[in-house]
């Protein structure tokens, strides 16, 4: 059976499974649509949380970033891993015990204000749409290569699949679909990692293989070989960082703190029966997530080694099949600058307008956007970082079924997170804006219909952002984390741990943090991308890390305003005490 046939078979079977689960678990009430009925087992919820968490950025893009950025790429690994621990320990149990449907629900009730609820919805929409752009971009990349369709059509197909099980099944359908998607994506990620680690080092465990010697007789360790080879080609050493320490700190902190403010992850802890189950599901999720996150650095290093050995100084006429496959989708390209017929891979841009290997991006993600040769650079090879995990099995010449498995896994990762994001958007619009704010007398049937209409509209917007992405997958996602860190996290954190924080302070803080961070990102990434260099950044902090400054502004403004305005009502203070006292945690109910 050919590889392409296997790809169609694996992807088709996985899609059939997801759609079948959506039909079987169709939501029949708002409680099932919003929080899956509140009765999900902690282990299943841990798997669903892991699938929600490990998006296209984790599955497709993170190892690709590490492969090309080396040490600098570790900020994503540290930030996302540490951030989940912050969320699990500091926020999840308390929010579950509070017992609401959505994050704006918590903020609106805690800060006794419809205005606070609306501001939280606005923040959530900004965060979620920024995040979902990366997921749909990932869907487009997978479809374009493995199903041999244009990226635009790939995004549209992905929209249709997500529409079916997110709009039909709601959180109930998405939860059990994500359990299946986790099984698919982790198996798809680990199997080729075992193969490639064994081929390169003789050790089948990738985490150990990264610290082993290379199977080429040189006696060099994996990272030693990468450092030497890359420096000979004009790149910096793989184990050296080019970012300033303050930027590394801010990006890592923004990713960590932003995690604790991501609404689609937080809402997962509303789906378990009680607060103690929220803690258990958080622990299970951390175990499930660690399987992928501890493997990513090894995959990144192995991918870079395989890429260099396969491409550099190879006759284009004899280029491997995988190179030609990805070339047809403008995700890799070659230009013969010295007319020798060989592909020369060096530091710098092969084409004018294409992104270089330091992290700067072109106008439309990392797809090849210009065919004008950059004569000032020796580099003849252009490659999109986001393809490395997907192309790795082909580069290593692994069996066709492994390639098909990776295709199914990449789609599972992107679609699982996209569905979760769409649900928090639709839930916030139907529940927080309509039911709790503007149309309190709406029936449950009408609210459920509004949620499905909102989800449909959100899918259309998400698809547009996937077709015209503002950056490569993990970078777009990093912006979402920054916005979450600057807007929702301080309001949630102070809402639990600072009884004196009032509605005026929370509202002013969320608005100031969001406006500052979004304006900074928009200026350097959309309005004036040519000025996006370290010399022009505030305190040397890149747009990926500016969420930390936005968070500080949020805290400062919120505290300042709260001290000048009235204290929260007595009933709010009692409510805060009730969610922070362990006794009776198992009796929390959704209302």
Q: Which domains does the chain have, with CATH numbers?
A: 3-302+397-475 (1.10.4160)
Q: What is the 3-state secondary structure (H, E, C) of 121-168?
A: HHHHHHHHHHHHHHHHHHHHHHHHHHCCCCHHHHHHHHHHHHHHHHHH
So what's the pLDDT on residue 474? 46
Instruction: Specify the higher pLDDT residue, 149 or 35.
Output: 149
Mean pLDDT for 393-406 is 86
Mean pLDDT for 221-243 is 87
Q: How far apart are CA 560 and CA 552, in angstroms?
A: 12
So what's the pLDDT on residue 62? 80
So what's the pLDDT on residue 123? 81
pLDDT for 70 beyond 50? yes
**56, 417 contact by CB (below 8 A):** yes
Q: 551 falls in which pLDDT band (50, 70, 90)?
A: very high
Q: In residues, how long is the chain? A: 591
**498, 269 contact by CB (below 8 A):** no
* Residues in CB range of 153: below 8 A, 6 or more apart: 143, 144
Mean pLDDT for 276-281 is 80
Mean pLDDT for 440-459 is 81
DSSP state of 87: I
Instruction: Name which of 15-29, 135-149, 350-364 the model is least confident about.
Output: 350-364
Instruction: Name which of 11-25, 59-73, 376-390, 467-481 the model is least confident about.
Output: 467-481
Alpha helices by DSSP H, 240-352: 245-259, 263-266, 275-293, 296-311, 321-327
**Structure tokens, 429:** 């619009």
pLDDT for 590 beyond 50? no
**311, 382 contact by CB (below 8 A):** no
Tens digit of each residue's pLDDT (9 = 90 or more) over 319-377:
888 888 888 767 788 888 888 889 998 888 788 754 443 333 333 334 555 567 877 78
Q: What number of other Cβ atoms are within 10 A of residue 317's Cβ? A: 7
**DSSP class per residue in 167-235:** IHHHHHHHHHHHHHHHHHHHHHHHHHHHHHHHHHHS-S-HHHHTTSBPTTTT--BHHHHHHHHHHHTTP
Residue 352, classed as helix, strand or coil, is: coil
Instruction: Specify the higher pLDDT residue, 471 or 64.
Output: 64
So what's the pLDDT on residue 100? 66
* Residues in CB range of 502: below 8 A, 6 or more apart: 111, 562, 565, 566, 567, 568
Instruction: Tell me the C-alpha to C-alpha distance, in Å, between residue 537 and each of 200, 254, 299, 524, 546.
Output: 40, 16, 32, 9, 9
So what's the pLDDT on residue 371? 61
Instruction: Specify the higher pLDDT residue, 32 or 285.
Output: 285
Instruction: Tell me the C-alpha to C-alpha distance, in Å, between residue 507 and each of 219, 251, 436, 487, 502.
Output: 60, 25, 17, 10, 9
Tens digit of each residue's pLDDT (9 = 90 or more) over 473-531:
445 666 777 888 898 889 989 998 898 999 999 999 999 998 999 899 888 877 787 78
Q: What number of other Cβ atoms are within 10 A of residue 498's Cβ? A: 16
Q: Which is it for the CA torsion 287, 256, 131, 72, positive or negative?
A: negative
Q: How far apart are CA 153 and CA 80, in angstroms?
A: 30
Residue 275 has φ and ψ, to the nearest 5°, of -65, -35
**Structure tokens, 514:** 């969001």
**269, 96 contact by CB (below 8 A):** yes
Mean pLDDT for 204-227 is 90
Residue identified by tokens 């923004």 is 254
So what's the pLDDT on residue 362? 35
Q: 591 falls in which pLDDT band (50, 70, 90)?
A: very low
Mean pLDDT for 411-437 is 76
**159, 15 contact by CB (below 8 A):** no
Q: Is 584 left (phi over 0), alpha (psi -120 to 50) or beta?
A: left
Tens digit of each residue's pLDDT (9 = 90 or more) over 178-196:
888 888 888 888 988 999 9
So what's the pLDDT on residue 34? 63
Q: How far apart are CA 217 and CA 205, in angstroms?
A: 20
So what's the pLDDT on residue 198? 93
Q: How far apart are CA 393 and CA 18, in angstroms?
A: 25
Instruction: Specify the higher pLDDT residue, 515 or 435.
Output: 515
So what's the pLDDT on residue 355? 46
So what's the pLDDT on residue 293? 86
Q: What is the mean pLDDT of the chain?
A: 81
């Amino acid at each position: 059976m050919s590889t392409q046939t296997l790809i169609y078979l694996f992807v088709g079977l996985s899609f059939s499974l997801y759609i079948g689960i959506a039909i079987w678990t169709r939501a029949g009430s708002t409680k099932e649509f919003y929080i899956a009925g509140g009765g999900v087992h902690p282990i299943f919820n841990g798997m669903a949380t892991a699938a929600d968490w490990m998006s296209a950025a984790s599955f497709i893009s993170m190892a690709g970033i590490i492969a090309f950025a080396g040490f600098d790429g570790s900020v994503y690994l540290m930030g996302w891993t540490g951030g989940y621990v912050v969320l699990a320990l500091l926020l999840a149990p308390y929010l579950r015990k509070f017992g609401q449907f959505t994050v704006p629900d918590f903020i609106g009730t805690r800060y006794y204000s419809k205005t606070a609820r609306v501001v939280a919805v606005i923040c959530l929409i900004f965060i979620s749409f920024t995040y979902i752009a990366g997921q749909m971009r990932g869907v487009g990349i997978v479809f374009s290569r493995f199903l041999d369709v244009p990226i635009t059509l790939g995004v549209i197909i992905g929209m249709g699949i997500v529409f079916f099980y997110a709009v039909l099944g709601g959180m109930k359908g998405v939860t059990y679909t994500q359990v299946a998607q986790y099984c698919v994506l982790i198996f798809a990620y680990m199997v080729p990692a075992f193969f490639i680690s064994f081929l390169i080092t003789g050790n089948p465990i990738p985490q150990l293989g990264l610290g082993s010697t290379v199977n080429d007789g040189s006696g060099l360790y994996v990272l030693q070989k990468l450092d030497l080879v890359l420096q000979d080609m004009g790149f910096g050493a793989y184990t050296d960082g080019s970012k300033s320490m303050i930027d590394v700190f801010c990006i890592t902190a923004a990713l960590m703190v932003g995690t604790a403010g991501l609404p689609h992850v937080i809402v997962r802890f509303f789906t378990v029966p009680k607060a103690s189950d929220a803690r258990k599901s958080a622990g299970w999720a951390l175990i499930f997530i660690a399987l992928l996150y501890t493997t990513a650095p090894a995959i990144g290093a192995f991918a870079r080694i395989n890429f260099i050995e396969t491409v550099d100084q190879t006759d284009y006429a004899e280029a491997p099949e995988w190179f030609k496959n990805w070339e047809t989708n403008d995700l890799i390209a070659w230009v013969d600058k010295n007319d020798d017929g060989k592909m020369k891979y060096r530091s710098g841009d092969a084409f004018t307008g294409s992104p270089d290997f330091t992290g700067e991006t072109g106008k439309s993600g990392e797809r090849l956007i210009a065919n004008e040769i950059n004569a000032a650079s020796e580099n003849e090879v252009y490659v999109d970082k986001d393809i490395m995990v997907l192309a790795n099995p082909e580069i290593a010449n692994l069996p066709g079924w492994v390639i098909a498995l990776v295709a199914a896994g990449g789609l599972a990762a992107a679609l699982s997170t996209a569905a979760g994001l769409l649900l928090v958007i639709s839930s916030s619009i139907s529940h927080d804006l309509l039911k709790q704010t503007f149309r309190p007398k709406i029936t449950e049937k009408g609210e459920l219909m509004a949620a499905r209409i909102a989800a449909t509209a959100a899918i259309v917007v998400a698809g547009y952002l996937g077709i015209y992405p503002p950056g490569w997958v993990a970078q777009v996602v990093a912006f979402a984390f920054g916005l979450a860190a600057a807007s929702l996290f301080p309001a949630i954190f102070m809402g639990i741990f600072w009884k004196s924080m009032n509605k005026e302070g929370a509202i002013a803080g969320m608005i100031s943090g969001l406006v500052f961070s979004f304006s900074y990102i928009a200026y350097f990434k959309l309005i004036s991308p040519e000025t996006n260099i370290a010399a022009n950044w505030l305190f040397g902090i890149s747009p990926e890390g500016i969420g930390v400054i936005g968070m500080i502004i949020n805290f400062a403004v919120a505290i300042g305003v709260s001290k000048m305005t009235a204290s929260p009502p007595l009933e709010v203070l009692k409510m805060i005490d009730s969610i922070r006292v362990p006794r009776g945690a198992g009796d929390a109910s959704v209302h």
